[in-house]
Amino acid sequence: MISSNLRRLALKGALACAFAVTVALPALAENAVLRVSAIPDEAPTELQRKFAPLGKYLEAQTGMKVIFTPVTDYAAVVESLATKKIDLAWLGGFTFVQAKIRTNGTAIPIAQREEDAKFTSKFITADPAIKSLSDLKGKTFAFGSPSSTSGSLMPRFFLQQAGINPEKDFKNVAFSGAHDATVAFVAAGKVEAGVLNASVWDKLVETRKVDTAKVRVFATTPPYFDYNWTVRGDLDPALIKKLTDAFLKLDPANPEHKEILALQRAAKFIPTQKENYDGIEKAAYSAGLLK
Amino acid sequence: MLLKSTARDPAFRGRLNAAIIVLLVLWPLLQTAEVKPGALFDAGNLTVIGNFLAAFLPPETGSEFLGYLGKATLETLAIATAGLALAFLLAVPMGYLVSGAGREHPTLNPLSRSLLTILRGIPELVWALVLVRVFGLGPAAGVLALGLTYGGMLAKVYAEILESVDATPARALRQNGASRPLAMLYGLLPQASKELASYTVYRWECAIRASVVMGFVGAGGLGQLMDQAMKMLNGGEAATILFVFMLLVFAADGFSGWLRRALDTPPAHRSSPFGWRSGGFMLALLLSVSASFHMLDIGFGALFSLESATSISQFVASFFPPDLSAEWLAKVAKGIWETLAISIVGTLLAAVLGLLLALPKPRAPFTLLLNTLRSVPELVWATITVLAVGLGPFAGVLALALHTAGVLGRLYGEAFANTPPTAARALRQAGAPAVVVFLYGTLPGAAPQLVAYTLYRWEMNIRMAAILGFVGAGGLGQHLYFELSLFHYAQASTVIIAMLALSIAVDQVSAGLRRWMQ
C-alpha cells in the first residue's frame, strides 16, 4: 500500500512537470524593441549605470523600447549579434572583427568615440623591480578577457614584437575578465603585472579607485583603433541611419548630452568604417588569436 | 612509538611497504599538481588572502546591492527548479530505454547508453558555456545545461534503481502477457518509487549548488554576482553573497531531508488517491516549476524555429573536425595529466581531512564545519584558494580538497556509525589504547565503505578538476575557456573530447578498483 501511494505520487509528479513546462512556454513579443548589449569590459553593474541615460536618449530618438542586457562573457555578445538576438552592441576592435567574420561581413560599425581612433593599453605593476616589458619574463601576468582588444590582443601583439611569448615566458597567465578586475588583481598582488585599456585606467585614477603610489604604469602600447557601436547588417536601413545620427548628434555643449558623453568617456562620437579595423585583424592573425 | 613494534602490529611490514609504493606512485602526481604547502605561508600570499578576508567585514548591505542579491537568489532557485524539471522530462524516457528492467532478455541499448555517457561526462559548466553561445544571453543556457547533464545522471540512476529491485513481480506480469511499460508500472515502480523520488530530490539540492557555478560563465543567478565580486576582490560583497548562498544550500538541504523523511510516512487508509499532503505537494510543485519557467522567460518557442535550428547545426558543425595537430594534442595531453593529478591529489587530501574531521567528538561543531565546507562549490573555493596560494594547479587541489573533505567527512562519519562495534569493543575490553582500537577494531570494518565513497568522489572530482582552470586553478579548463572565447571551436572540441575521455576512463578505473576491493 505504501509504495502504491508513492507510485501515484511519482506519476503525478511526472504529469505535473510535463504540464508546467507546456504552460510556461512564453510567447515572444517582438514589436519595436531595440535590444542592446555591450562587451563586459567593466563590471556589469557599472555598464548598466553607464548605459541608463544613453538608453533613454536612444528611446527618444528612435521611438523604440530599448532593452539593455548585461553579460559577463565577451564572446556571448558577438555570438548574440551573429544569431540576431541583439540589434546594437558596444564592441571592442577585436570583438568587432570577430563579429564581422561571424556575420559574413554584414555587421556595420556606425560610430566610435573620438578617443577610439588612437587608443592605447597600459602595462601596470606593483612590483618595483619591473621597469620594462623585458622584466616581465618569469612573472605572473593578467590579461583582461581573452577576447579583449586592449586587454589581450593588442598587448599580446606588442609583447610579441618585444620578443615575449606570453605562453612560454610568463610564469602563469590569468584572464581577469575585465579591465577593472585586472587592476584589482595587480593591486592585491594576485599577479605581478597586468595590462588594461588606457581609458579605464584613467577613470580609475581620476576617481581614486586605484592607489597610484602602489600600482604604476611602466609601459604603454602604440595607438590603435578600438571600440565602436555596431549594428547587425539586416536591420532596417532607416533605423540604422536614425541610430547613427543619434550618436553623431550628441553635443558636449548640451548639458543633457554632456552627461551621456561623460559616462561613455567620450569627447564626442565620430563616424567609423570597417576598414579602420583591418589593422587589428592583421594583428589578431599574427598573434594567433584568429586562425 | 606504538606502531614501531612489530610485535604489536603483525601487519606492520606489509603496511609500510604499501605506504612506500603509494608514495612512489604519488610523487610524480604531487610534482605535477605543484603541491607546495609552503605557498600557504608565503608572506605575499598571506597578505593577499588576509586583505581579501579582512574585507569580508563588514558584509555589504547597501539596498541596491541587496536588491540585486534578492533577484539573483530567486533566479538561482528558478534555474535549479526549471533545470531539474527539464532533466526529469529527459530522464524518464531515456531511463526507460536504457534500463534492462522489465525486459525478458536484458539487452543493453548501446545507442542510448552512450548518449547518457556523453551527457553525463561533459561537465554542466561546459554545456552552459557552449549553450550560452547558442541560446544567447541569460539563464536559458543554465537551465538547458542542467537539464542535459542532470537528465543523463537521473536516467542512469533511474535505470539502475529499476534494475536493482526485485524483478519477480514484473516477470510474472510479463509472462501473463502484460506489455513492458505496464509490467514496469505495476511490477517495479511500486518498489522503487521511494528511492526514485528521494534521488530526484537530492539532485534538486545539487542543482542549486550547480546553478550557482553556472553563473560563472554568464548564465545568471547568484554565481554571476559572486563571479563579479570575486574578480573585483570585493570582500564585502563576496561575504554577503557567500552567506546568502550558504543559507540557501542549508535550506535546500533541510527541505530535501524533510521531503525524503515524508516519504517514509505510511499513507492514510482512504480511497482517494490524493491526501492533503500529496495534493498540496503536487500543487506546490506545479506552481514552483511554472513560476520558475515564467520568471526566467525562456523563449523555448524560439528554440524550435527553423532559424535557430540552422544556427545550432552550424554551431555544432563548427566543432568538427577537432584539431588533432601534434602541437595542440601535446598541449591538451599536458592539460589532461595536470587535471588527473589535481583530481587524485585533491581527493586523497580530502580523504585525509575528511577522516580527521569525521572522528572527533562531540560531533556538533564538526558537523557544522563539514556542512560549511561542502556547501561552498569547488569553483568558489578555487577563487579563494587562488588568492591563498597563487594561480596554478595547487589552488585547484586545495579547492577540491576543501569541498570534498566536507562531503567525505559526513559520509565517513555515517560509515563509522554503521560499522558493527563488536570488534572495537573486544579490543577495548582487552585493554588496547584508543588508537589501536580504531585502527584494528573500527577501521577494517568500515574500510570498504570508505574506499567506495572516496572512489565515487574521485569520479565526480575529475569532472570538477577539468573546469577549475576557468578561475586560474590549473588543468584543462583554461584551454577550453580561452579557445571558446576566441571561437576556436576545432581546438575547443579537442579539449571537450579529452574531458569526456578522461571522465569515462576514471569511471572505468574506479569501477574496476571497487570490484577488485570486494
In CATH, what number is assigned to the domain containing residue A191? 3.40.190.10
- Cell numbers given for B320: 568538427
B62-317 CATH pick, 3.40.50.300, 1.10.10.60, 3.40.50.150, 1.10.3720.10: 1.10.3720.10
Alpha-carbon B5 to chain mean position: 42
- Is A10 in Cβ contact with B487 (below 8 Å)? no
Domain assignment present for residue A204? The answer is: yes
Mean pLDDT across the stretch B440-451? 87
Inter-chain contact B289–A20, Cβ cutoff 8 Å? Answer: yes
pLDDT at B278: 77
Q: Is the pLDDT of residue A10 over 60?
A: no
Using the Cβ of B299 and the Cβ atoms of chain A, whether some distance falls under 8 Å is answered with yes
C-alpha cell at A155: 598587448
Assigned domain for A255 exists: yes
Give chain B positions within 8 Å (CB) of A178.
231
CB contact under 8 A, B286 and A19: yes
CB pair distance less than 8 Å for B189 and A289: no
Give B437 to chain A, closest Cα distance, Å. Answer: 42
Q: Is B445 on the interface with A (CB under 8 A)?
A: no
Cell numbers found for residue B516: 577488485
Question: Is the model more confident about B518 or about B399?
Answer: B399
Question: Which residues in chain B are closer than 8 Å to A84, comparing Cβ atoms?
Answer: 307
Q: Which residues of B touch A185 (CB under 8 A)?
A: 233
Structure confidence by residue, pLDDT tens digits, A19-42: 444 444 433 334 589 999 999 888
Subunit contact A146:B485, Cβ cutoff 8 A: yes
- Nine-digit cell at B383? 577563487
Do residues B343 and B461 make contact, with C-beta atoms less than 8 angstroms apart?
A: yes
> Quick check: B284 contacting A, CB < 8 Å?
no
CB pair distance less than 8 Å for A72 and B218: yes
Sequence-ordered alpha helix ranges (H) in A105-218: 154-161, 166-169, 179-188, 198-206
Answer whether residue A80 shows pLDDT above 70.
yes
A230 found inside a domain:
yes
Tell me the pLDDT tens digit for each residue of B280-297: 888 988 999 999 888 887
Exposure of B321 in the CB half-sphere (CA atoms within 13 A): 3
B199 touches chain A (CB under 8 A): no
Residue B104 grid cell: 525478458
Q: Does B338 have pLDDT greater than 90?
A: yes
Residues 74-103 of B with CB under 8 A from A: 85-86, 88-89, 92
* Mean of the per-residue pLDDT values of chain A: 86
Q: What is the pLDDT of residue A29?
A: 38
pLDDT in the model for residue A62? 92
Where do the H-state alpha helices sit in A176-289?
Answer: 179-188, 198-206, 237-249, 255-263, 278-286
Pick from B85, B224, B484: which is nearest to A17 by CB? B85
Asked whether the predicted pLDDT for residue B195 surpasses 50, the reply is: yes
From A180's Cα to the closest Cα of chain B, the distance in A is 7
Cβ distance of A16 and B294 shorter than 8 Å: no
Residues A107 and A245 in one domain: yes
Q: Are both A207 and A131 inside the same structural domain?
A: yes
At residue B1 the predicted structure's pLDDT band, cuts being 50, 70 and 90, is: very low
C-alpha cell of residue B509? 578505473
Question: What residue ranges do the domains of chain B occupy?
Answer: 24-54+322-518, 62-317
- Residues of chain B with pLDDT > 70, as a percent, come to 93
The answer on pLDDT for A256 being more than 60 is yes
- Lowest-confidence segment of A71-75, B102-106, B330-334, B430-434 by average pLDDT: B102-106
Q: How many residues does chain B have?
A: 518
If asked whether residues A213 and A70 sit together in one domain, one would say no
Q: Is residue B117 less than 8 Å (CB to CB) from chain A?
A: no
In this predicted structure, the answer to whether residue B66 has a pLDDT above a threshold of 80 is yes
Pair A105, A124 in one domain: no
- Over 90: is that where the pLDDT of B36 sits? no
- Closest C-alpha among B462, B489, B470 to residue B226: B470
Describe the strand order of the beta sheet including A228-231 as a list of residue ranges.
A65-69, A33-38, A88-91, A228-231, A108-113, A269-271
Fold classification of B24-54+322-518 is MetI-like fold (1.10.3720)
Query: Looking at CA atoms only, how far is residue B374 from chain A in angstroms?
Result: 25
The yes-or-no verdict on residue B438 having pLDDT over 90 is no
Can you read off the three cell numbers belonging to residue A282? 592583421
Q: Which three cell numbers stand for residue B310?
A: 540552422
Same domain for A207 and A140?
yes
Q: What is residue B408's predicted lDDT score, i.e. its pLDDT?
A: 95
pLDDT exceeds cutoff 60 at A171 = yes
Nearest chain A residue to B304, by CA: A25
> What is the predicted pLDDT for the residue at A112?
94
Is the dihedral angle over the CA atoms B39, B42, B47, B48 positive or is it negative?
Answer: negative
The per-residue pLDDT for B119 is 87
- Nearest-CA distance from A274 to chain B in Å? 20
Residues A110 and A159 in one domain: no
Q: Is-contact A260 A243, C-beta < 8 A?
A: no
* A60 and A203 both lie in a single domain: no
The SS3 assignment for B273 reads: coil
Tell me which of B402 and B361 has the higher pLDDT.
B402
Residues of A (192-221) whose Cβ lies below 8 Å from B: none
Reported as a pLDDT band with limits 50, 70 and 90, residue B227 is: confident
Q: Complex ipTM above 0.95?
A: no
Strand partners, A217: A124
Among B196, B282, B299, beta carbon nearest to A28: B299
Range of lowest pLDDT (A36-45, B364-373, B404-413, B458-467): A36-45
Predicted model pTM:
0.82
- Determine the pLDDT at residue A221: 94
pLDDT confidence bin for B300, thresholds 50/70/90: low
Whether residue A83 and residue B308 make contact (CB cut-off 8 A), yes or no, is yes
Q: Is the pLDDT of residue B135 over 80?
A: no
Give the closest of B85, B185, B482 to A20, CB-based: B85
The DSSP bridge partners found for residue A271 are: A111
Least confident of B96-110, B242-256, B323-337, B462-476: B96-110
Q: In terms of domains, do A81 and A107 share one?
A: yes
Same domain, yes or no: A66 and A147: no
Q: Do B278 and A8 touch (CB under 8 A)?
A: yes
CB B223 within 8 A of CB B212: yes
Quote the domain boundaries for residue A163. 120-220
Instruction: Tell me which of A141 and A5 has the higher pLDDT.
Output: A141
| Same domain membership, residue A243 and residue A160 | no
A267 found inside a domain: yes
CA triplet A65, A67, A68: central angle to 5 degrees?
150
Q: Are residues A97 and A136 in the same domain?
A: no
| Chain A: closest CA distance from residue B101 (Å) | 17
B217:A20 CB<8 A: no
Going by C-alpha positions, the residue among B400, B388, B379, B399 that lies closest to residue B215 is: B379
pLDDT reading at B126 higher than 70: yes
- Is residue B330's pLDDT more than 90? yes
- Let me know if residue A257 belongs to a domain: yes
Give the pLDDT score at A36. Answer: 94
Q: Which three cell numbers stand for residue A267?
A: 569627447
- Cα–Cα distance between B442 and B416 in angstroms, integer? 7
Say if CB A170 and CB A141 are below 8 A apart. Answer: yes
Give percent of chain B above pLDDT 90. 27
Count: domains in chain A: 2
pLDDT of residue A131: 93
Q: Is residue A9 part of a domain?
A: no
Q: What mean pLDDT is reported for chain B?
A: 86
- Scanning B359-488, the segments in alpha helix (DSSP H) are 364-375, 378-389, 393-418, 422-429, 434-436, 443-465, 477-485
CB B401 within 8 A of CB B473: no
Confidence of residue B442 (pLDDT cuts 50, 70, 90): confident
Residues with Cβ within 8 Å of residue A203, at least 6 apart in sequence: A209, A265
B 123-152 → A contacts, CB under 8 A: 132-134, 136-138
Q: Which of residues 4-23 of A touch B (CB under 8 A)?
A: 4-14, 16-21, 23
Interchain contact, A76 vs B132, CB within 8 Å: yes
Same fold yes or no, B24-54+322-518 and B62-317: yes
**Beta-carbon separation of B86 and A21 below 8 A:** yes
List chain B residues with CB under 8 Å of A180. 232
Using CB atoms within 10 Å of the CB of residue B89, give its burial: 0 to 12 exposed, 13 to 18 middle, 19+ buried.
Answer: middle
Q: What angle do CA A69, A73, A79 make, to 5 degrees?
A: 75
- Supply the DSSP string of A56-87, one letter for each residue: HHHHHHH-SEEEEE--S-HHHHHHHHHTTS-S
The pLDDT confidence band at residue B375, using thresholds 50, 70 and 90, is confident
> B233 to chain A: which residues are within 8 Å by CB?
184-185, 188, 190
Better-predicted residue by pLDDT, B36 or B412: B412
| Distance to chain A for B357, nearest Cα, Å | 31
How many Å apart are CA A268 and CA B216, to the nearest integer?
Answer: 35
Interchain pair A190, B48: CB under 8 A: yes
List the single range of A226-230, A239-243, B173-177, B227-231 with lowest mean pLDDT.
B227-231
* Pairing mode, strands A228-231 and A108-113: antiparallel
The whole-number average pLDDT for the span B446-454 is 90
A280 within some domain: no
A183 touches chain B (CB under 8 A): no
Per CB-CB distance under 8 Å, the chain A contacts of B197 are 6, 9-10, 13
Predicted pLDDT at A128: 92
pLDDT of residue B383: 87
Residues 23-52 of B with CB under 8 A from A: 44, 47-48, 51-52
